[in-house]
Chain A
Amino acid sequence: MVGLTGLATRAGTLAALRTPETLMSAVTTPVSRPSEVRPPSPATSAWSRWANAHRKWLFAAPAMAFVAVLIIFPVAWTGYLSLTDAEGSVRAESEFIGFQNYLDVLSDTDRFWPAVWRTALFTGVVLLVEVVLGMAIALLLWRPFRGEKWVRVAILLPLVATPVAVGMMWRLIFDPNIGMANQMLSWFGIGPQPWLAGQNSALPTTMFIDIWQWTPMVVLILLAGLTSLSDEPQEAALIDGASTWQRFRHVTLPLLMPTMIVAILLRGIDALKTFDILYATKGRGGGSFHEVETLNVYAYGLSFDYNDYGVSSTVLIIFFLIIIGVMWALTYRKKGLER
């Protein structure tokens, strides 16, 4: 962020330096134009005039078309499949069965609702911990100090590490027999824990892994927000005799709220869709007892482990609606704050 702003300011200064001079030259010496600007040949000029007139869509349309073709068709297809009994092979015949899948899925207390619950729990817990921890770490990093650069690199490392590799790494550390985690517990006289292998401890352990990997993301966003705040409100509060906590609670936090919503939005969307860590640590179906089976893992399993496309599409459409709902609620909240 800092680098970008710096450059933008430099460019601004450059423009300020240059504009009057070029204007002057245009006024005083109309004949001696820059050599590179020749009158274009008539053939290119027709195309060039058209291209310049339509540059808005000429530039934007290819990217939009790419995304639209790869999204709209698949989503429409998923919507259609959710109304059929498609299963087995993608080429097999399927029959239109109306909303039967939706009735089945919404009354499925065996796999579907537990998956919804796990998705909500996973997202809620990791978001809460990541925002609180991320806020604390961002505050620690806020004012400059020596060695800042190295601390920032350390914070970036988990973030850029390949999630599948991260999952494998934690599998070794959390291995009940040979893992470092249990060994460290034994130093404090605590008995071995099953971690990822336990039916009740698997989901919290994957939450821990997610928090380890993604708290840095929240730190970076909040730190960018903190750095962009002006010092004046802080100083005013200081003069008014506000304590450190009061300054944080009543000055920093409200000013930082829009940035925090962005962090929650970005992390929330990704947390809802968490797949790599869960699949890498527990494999198909979120483990033999579906301990970490969230909606995304469930839908993936239905599609590609069981080839139950109809039901899978139904789950995905519901999942999609949930994501849109959450996003809409958060953006709405952000707009309310900015008003």
Chain B
Amino acid sequence: MKPSRPFEVFRAAALAVVVFSLVAPLLWMVAASFKTNVDIYDTGKAFAFSPTLDNYDTVLQQANYVQFIGNSLWVALAATVFSLVLGVPAAYSMSRFNMKKSALVVLMARVIPGVSLLVPWYYVFSNLQMVGGYTVLILSHMFVSLPLIVYIMMSYFDGLPTELEEAALVDGLTHIGAFRRITLPLSVPGVATAGILSFIFSWNNFMFALVLSGADTKTLPVAIFDFVGYASIDWGGLMAAATVVTLPIMLITLFVQKYIVSGLTAGATKG
């Protein structure tokens, strides 16, 4: 079915509007991060301004953001790696043995409101003197990553034919050997998808770190939130901080958009 010519014109115009409304605010944020506060307050200078790096200087030098970037990276990477180690074999087992109820246990973590877990966690971990440390942050972020990884990998393994594993069994490999040498290498795209999304969601997570991080272990979203003081807002600095947290994710997205799309839509089209 070939779309008609008027439809093509209408579609191009409509998509242009969609793309503009989605991208323009983000560009506006990036633009504001290069403006002095005087320029931000002067609505006449919305587009004609002389760019400055002062805001980035404030954020990176004075506000200690280098440390927060490191915290965010470390927590997101560690949570992702540990969740993959736990989640990929679990997803494999749940997919091959059709363990629907067990999968539901893991997916509950995606449904339950985070606040209801935070009070007990806070109690236990503060008694263990762990609040404010990296361990508790990584554990809490794994709670976000693990269900995501299990969900994505289950639908990936569901789509992977079992013939290759069976052939490997005939060749004399054990079940676990077949998983390790045949299925796992075939699952690299799925693992990449799950890992990227888990990293992004952990990087973006706000609530767990808001309660469980300390002054030195703050992740970027919490640092941005704390940037808003009670007095007047340093808009330029705030936008620079917001850009610092968003830009890496957007750059990743540019390069691996196919993986992100396949991860976000995993399991949506089957029964």
Contacts and interface: CB of A to CB of B under 8 A. Distances in A.
B41 A60 contact: no
A183 interface: yes
A249 B207 CA distance: 41
Given A64-B105, A168-B228, A316-B115, A220 B94 contact: no
Interface stretch (A101-109, A135-143, A196-204): A135-143
Contact of A141 (B15, B114, B267): B15
A67 to B, nearest CB: 5
Interface string B206-236: 1100010000000011001100100001010
Interface in B166-186: 166-167, 170-176, 179, 186
A290 to B, nearest CB: 16
B268 interface: yes
Nearest to A261: B268
Given A154-B22, A161-B250, A165-B224, A140 B11 contact: yes
Contacts of B137: none
B167 A67 contact: no
A90 B131 CA distance: 13
Interface in A56-73: 56-60, 62-64, 66-68, 70-71, 73
B32 A172 contact: yes
Contact of A66 (B29, B32, B86, B190): B86
Interface in A98-156: 137, 140-141, 143, 145, 149-156
B250 A37 contact: no
A101 B68 CA distance: 40
A74 B121 contact: yes
Contacts of A52: 174-176
A105 B158 CA distance: 45
Interface string A302-325: 011000010011001101100110
A221 B41 CA distance: 40
A225 B269 contact: yes
Contact of A152 (B123, B242, B261): B261
A273 B118 CA distance: 14
Contact of B249 (A26, A78, A160, A262): A160
Contact of B147 (A8, A37, A67, A300): A67
A240 interface: no
Interface in A31-64: 33-34, 37, 48, 51-52, 55-60, 62-64
Nearest to B242: A165
Nearest to A213: B22
A194 interface: no
A23 B171 CA distance: 8
Interface residues of B, number: 116
B242 A169 contact: yes
A316 B116 contact: yes
A1 B269 contact: yes
- Determine which residue in B94, B171, B267 has the highest number of CB atoms from chain A within 10 A of its CB, and name it: B171
B70 interface: no
B128 interface: no
Given A15-B163, A67-B106, A224-B269, A154 B117 contact: no
Contacts of A58: 89, 93
Contacts, number: 335
A45 B131 CA distance: 44
Contacts of A67: 105-106, 108-109, 143, 146-147
A303 B249 contact: no
A90 B119 contact: yes
A299 B118 CA distance: 11
B22 A300 contact: no
Contacts of B150: 63
A3 B250 contact: no
Contacts of A70: 109, 117, 121, 139, 143
B163 A12 contact: yes
A24 to B, nearest CB: 11
Nearest to B85: A62
Given A66-B146, A162-B221, A169-B26, A156 B170 contact: no
A154 B15 CA distance: 10
B171 A160 contact: no
A276 B206 contact: yes
Contact of A34 (B116, B172, B249): B172
B1 A59 contact: no
B116 A320 contact: yes
B190 to A, nearest CB: 7
A185 interface: no
Contacts of A91: 123, 127
A231 B1 contact: yes
Given A52-B174, A67-B105, A173-B28, A11 B161 contact: yes
B159 A5 contact: yes
B116 A78 contact: yes
A51 B176 contact: yes
B65 interface: no
Given A67-B147, A162-B246, A304 B211 contact: yes
Given A58-B93, A59-B90, A74-B117, 13 more contacts: A2-B258, A4-B262, A37-B172, A90-B126, A152-B257, A168-B29, A173-B25, A178-B41, A224-B261, A238-B1, A258-B271, A259-B269, A275-B115
8 contacts: A2-B258, A15-B167, A77-B120, A90-B126, A143-B1, A165-B242, A262-B267, A275-B115
Closest 9 CB pairs of A and B: A15-B163, A63-B90, A59-B93, A165-B242, A74-B120, A59-B89, A224-B265, A37-B172, A316-B116
